[in-house]
A and B are shown apart, each in its own frame.
Chain A
């Protein structure tokens, strides 16, 4: 059956709903904290609009409050975002970007790349059929939730009661678990890699207190995936369509 771009987009939006539920309270908290740190409403909104990187945005507020220079904050952001480089490398092997001569071949990578976050990466790369419209639907849903949460938080303060917001905060973890389980059912190697990633991330956070979460993820990705590569086959990890005919 031929899938149309429209149905693929909708499929992506549906896959993005749990991400949106998780992003909303986080973005509201960012908006509140940003205005408390002294950012103008427009600046807080611009951060979520143009930077769109949760952990880095929170880190920048902490550094600003501590009196760090703009350059130091930009460098800290670069370091924190190295994990997205790794994720983009992995995603680029999975997403079929059709090259049409004469068309703007770079436009699609720019749009797709902007939408890569920890959450959209794991949802997209573990989806059975990853297409560009699916990813756009997924990323757009997440992005709009992040943006509207920031606007609400910076404009009105967090509208959601704290208990509900913390409840919504568990959404991302529940989603991670829900997409991990089918992979583990496929082969135990996937579960082993995830367990190794969790142990490495936990170990790193205990060994180096205050290690930014971005670096925990980088360490886990590089080392735990090597465990998988040593004992598993490529096809076991994801429905791979590696080499086009």
Chain B
């Protein structure tokens, strides 16, 4: 039962991820669809950040928001994501320890 489930989950996860890449760039798409596709990453980013960031520490949405604000400020200057990420981790740990 478990193994059948794992095999099935593997198939239905793998196939949708791979088919578009197999068709790849051979597919000629009209300009408005290409424009639409090009904004997918930003739309996904918005949905991935919010509302999830409110629940980094359950019941204390302001901790996630503070860490996010800190990351945003640092990201304006930083050249890669590592520094903002480490700072956000530190803010989260310190704020949670301070709040309890």
Contact = CB atoms under 8 A, between A and B. Distances in A.
Interface in B1-55: 1-14, 16-25, 27, 29, 31-32, 34-53
Chain B, interface SS category: helix
A85 B17 contact: yes
A91 B59 CA distance: 36
A113 to B, nearest CB: 3
A77 B31 contact: no
A131 B27 CA distance: 19
Contact of A113 (B11, B12, B21, B78): B21
Nearest to A233: B35
A141 interface: no
A92 interface: yes
Most chain A beta-carbon contacts within 10 A, residue among B2, B20, B41: B41
A84 B68 CA distance: 25
Contact of B44 (A169, A171, A197, A233): A197
Contacts of B57: 166
Contact of A201 (B5, B25, B51, B96): B51
B50 A202 contact: yes
Contact of B81 (A57, A175, A196, A213): A175
Contacts of A56: 9, 13
B89 A121 contact: no
Interface in A111-136: 112-114, 116, 118-119, 121-122, 125-126
A126 to B, nearest CB: 5
Contact residues on A (Cβ < 8 Å of other chain), bracket: 35 or more
B38 A90 contact: yes
Contacts of A77: 8-9, 12-13
Contacts of B85: 18, 21, 171, 174-175, 178
Most chain B beta-carbon contacts within 10 A, residue among A53, A82, A106: A53
Contact of B2 (A39, A114, A228): A39
Contacts of B20: 85, 88-89, 91-92, 113
Interface of B: 1-14, 16-25, 27, 29, 31-32, 34-53, 56-57, 64, 67-68, 70-72, 74-76, 78, 80-82, 84-85, 87-93, 96-97
12 contacts: A84-B16, A113-B18, A114-B14, A174-B71, A183-B42, A196-B43, A197-B42, A205-B51, A220-B44, A225-B37, A227-B39, A232-B39
Top 6 A-B pairs, shortest CB-CB distance: A197-B46, A113-B18, A228-B39, A174-B88, A74-B8, A220-B47
